[in-house]
Chain A
């Protein structure tokens, strides 16, 4: 090995022009594979981070997956709701440390509007148990005040004090393209932005938070999704009404003792007032990731395929170059090299090319990460550095290197066959 490596390197350097292109194609393939893996890991971590610290999600009995999508990602419509009174009962249970009521249904320019209480900002956690932070402003306290997520503020360029109006109804993806299909607008009661949250890489970044009472207030003169004709209630009069909501979509719960979670779940399932259910969000999140995972897996498979193409190209280039190296191999045999030395020499060359491609590929990924990380973080709420050089990534790198070595077994075998047939004096 010590004998052969300098020879392999010198020989490869001698053919650097033809080999450089091979290394470049390996570089691109490796860049793709590592980038895809890093984005996948970042997405998965971001996914799991979205429910950090929530022990149970409570909602009307139905599909656990739908409840999770609705309560955490604010996706889909609620088919059922739960009563406000049930929430009050839950909130006063001695096991419950804190509870956050959630009401959804409205939107603003495609982003979901979440009605909740200031508890939300106090108890919700993301990532490694970080509390939510404000990049400016503060939680809402009065009517018609809104706190917007970091991504909304960045994308729509919102500042503190700006006025926004809400749309009735959630917005589906196809409606995002078609402005005219938004629900009716609550133009009569605009909201003032009083707080902007720091980025969290979770759905919080894409949510507008208002108080439950504000949501009640803007729907005072509405019925069945439309404003009642002729009935106008100006904002300043809204306080004269009882603004306690009648229904909620979900409640997030934190327990004093995490170990009580299964018992609490059972108790809620047997709740007497109305049919409710409680889900363990991390469990359902794993299930959800399995679903999303099939896309990720095929992308990953595709990236491996590209790596395979790059390495096959390398094998082809080495094999094509063997013809010119017959004298070189015969000379090595004359000084005592055996067929296995020849195999090892060619494999070392393949390994070196793969390693060179790996290193430059990693350089590309790191460089791109360095350049675009802030942008990706702000726009896509993904933290690309989460799994950089993790044990998994090192395994992936070792896997690519092993595949490269294995692939060069083919040209190595070919070279040794050739030198065995040639003997010491190759005939051209």
Chain B
């Protein structure tokens, strides 16, 4: 699913490399827990896997496709077609309704829209319900939601159109411990239902036991 070899990356304007000599694989359907201290480069790694940035050296293959061999445009399309992202917070576009936020990937990727089985809106509603959201909220503005609700909406957005890869960057750090577990459980069951692969980034090691495998990213 993901194959990383000899990966090095340095942010422009920085002397020390952010990632160096990184190598690991993620297999299909796996649920990977990626942890490491703050500044270790976890978010940077997600940027690279998503094809938003290119490695300075080394290889990243996603779904058997080497990202550095794709044009910038093709990488954007590849990301839209095959990856869903959940961020730490402020995941939603404030001027769109809950439903429109969930439907956003289908606007940019016809592949994702196609894979909803014909009706993206119905699929969005189904996902929202599966993630325990009140159906009445669908047309509310995204800004009217609580943080926990926002995270569930962004999980629905990441899952719509069954992308092969779900990349979550500390999606639970803004939630209280009780809600963290509930959220992760919901997320995992939906990822399993869609047959996707989950890469979950967090610095909270207490969550590690919920996942298949755990990789620690060391600060260089």
Instruction: Identify B76's interface contact among A7, A13, A338, A423, CB under 8 A.
Output: A338
Q: Which residue of B lies closest to A3 (CB)?
A: B107
Pick from A328, A338, A424: contact of B87, CB under 8 Å: A424
B96 touches A336 (CB 8 A): no
| A424 in contact with B47 (CB, 8 Å) | yes
A334–B107 CB distance below 8 A:
no
- Closest Cβ–Cβ distance, residue A336 to chain B (whole Å): 2
Contact A331 B93 (CB under 8 A): yes
B12: A residues at CB distance < 8 A:
421
Q: Mark A413-424, 1 if CB is under 8 A from B, else 0.
A: 000000001011
Q: Which residues of A contact B76 (CB under 8 A)?
A: 333, 336-338, 341
Q: Is the pair B47, A14 in contact by a Cβ cutoff of 8 Å?
A: no
Cβ-defined partner of A425 (8 Å) among B47, B72, B77, B92:
B47
Of B21-29, B78-86, B130-138, B206-214, which stretch is located at the interface?
B78-86
Contact between chains at B52 and A336 (CB < 8 Å): no
Measured in the bound complex, the distance between the Cα atoms of B96 and A3 in whole Å is 13
Contact B108 A10 (CB under 8 A): no
Please measure, in the bound complex, the distance between the C-alpha atom of A177 and the C-alpha atom of B187, giving whole angstroms.
87
Q: Is the CB of A339 closer than 8 A to any CB of chain B?
A: yes
B125 adjacent to chain A (CB < 8 Å)? no
A413 to chain B, nearest CB (A): 15
Check: B105 CB closer than 8 A to any chain A CB.
yes
Q: Which of A10, A338, A339, A341 has its CB near the most chain B CB atoms (within 10 A)?
A: A338
Bound: A337/B107 CA distance, A: 10
Chain A, 1-46, CB within 8 A of any chain B CB: 3, 7, 10-11, 13-14
Question: Could you say which interface size class chain A belongs to?
Answer: 20 to 34
**Distance in Å from the Cβ of B167 to the closest Cβ of chain A?**
9
Cα distance A14–B96 in the bound complex, in angstroms: 9
Interface bits B83-119 vs A (CB < 8 Å: 1, else 0) = 0010110111111100000001101110000000000
Contacts of B53 in A (CB 8 A): 423
Is B157 on the interface with A (CB-CB < 8 A)?
A: yes
C-alpha spacing A360/B155, complex, angstroms: 42
Contacts of A335 in B (CB 8 A): 80, 85, 104-105, 107-109, 157
Contact A3 B91 (CB under 8 A): no
Q: Which of A3, A13, A14, A425 has the most CB of B within 10 A?
A: A425
Is A425 a contact partner of B43 (Cβ separation < 8 A)? yes
| Nearest chain A CB to B207 CB, angstrom units | 20
Interface residues of A in 147-193 (CB under 8 A from B): none
Is A83 at the interface (CB under 8 A from chain B)?
A: no
A123 contacts chain B at the CB level, 8 A cutoff: no
Interface residue? B171 (CB, 8 A): no
Question: Are A328 and B108 in contact, CB atoms less than 8 angstroms apart?
Answer: no
Q: Using a Cβ cutoff of 8 Å, how many contacts connect chains A and B?
A: 73
Decide if B123 is an interface residue (CB 8 Å cutoff). Answer: no
For residue A61, CB closer than 8 A to chain B, the reply is no
A residues in contact with B47, CB < 8 Å: 423-425
Q: In this assembly, does A327 line the interface, its C-beta being within 8 Å of a C-beta of chain B?
A: yes
A11 touches B46 (CB 8 A): no
Q: Is B50 an interface residue (CB 8 A)?
A: yes
Q: Report chain B residues within 8 Å CB of A328.
A: 93-94
Q: Which residues of B contact A327 (CB under 8 A)?
A: 90
**Contact (Cβ within 8 A) A336 B105:** yes
CA distance A328 to B43 in the complex (A): 17
> In the complex, what residues of B have CB within 8 A of residue A424's CB?
43, 46-47, 50, 52, 85, 87, 169
Q: Which of B81, B105, B108 has most A Cβ within 10 Å?
A: B108
Interface contact B52-A423, CB-CB below 8 Å: yes
Q: A13-B95, A424-B47 are in contact. Are A333 and B104 (CB under 8 A)?
A: no
In the assembled complex, the Cα of A328 lies from the Cα of B77 at a distance in Å of 18
Smallest Cβ-Cβ distance to A419: which chain B residue: B52
- What residues on B are CB-neighbors of A338 within 8 Å? 72-73, 76-77
Within 8 A of B (CB), among A118-157: none
Q: Is the CB of A339 within 8 A of B94?
A: no
* 280-299 of chain A: CB within 8 A of chain B: none
In the complex, what residue of chain A is closest to B105 when comparing beta carbons?
Answer: A335
CB distance from A180 to the nearest CB of B (A): 70
User: Known: A336-B109, A424-B87. Is A10-B104 also a contact (CB below 8 A)?
Assistant: no
Please give the distance in Å from B173's CB to the nearest CB on chain A: 13
Closest chain B CB from A250 CB (angstroms): 70
* B220 CB to nearest chain A CB (Å): 18
Interface residues of A (CB under 8 A from B): 3, 7, 10-11, 13-14, 327-328, 331-341, 421, 423-425
A336-B81, A337-B108, A424-B87 provided; 8 other pairs, C-beta below 8 A? A7-B96, A10-B95, A14-B94, A328-B93, A336-B108, A339-B72, A423-B47, A424-B52
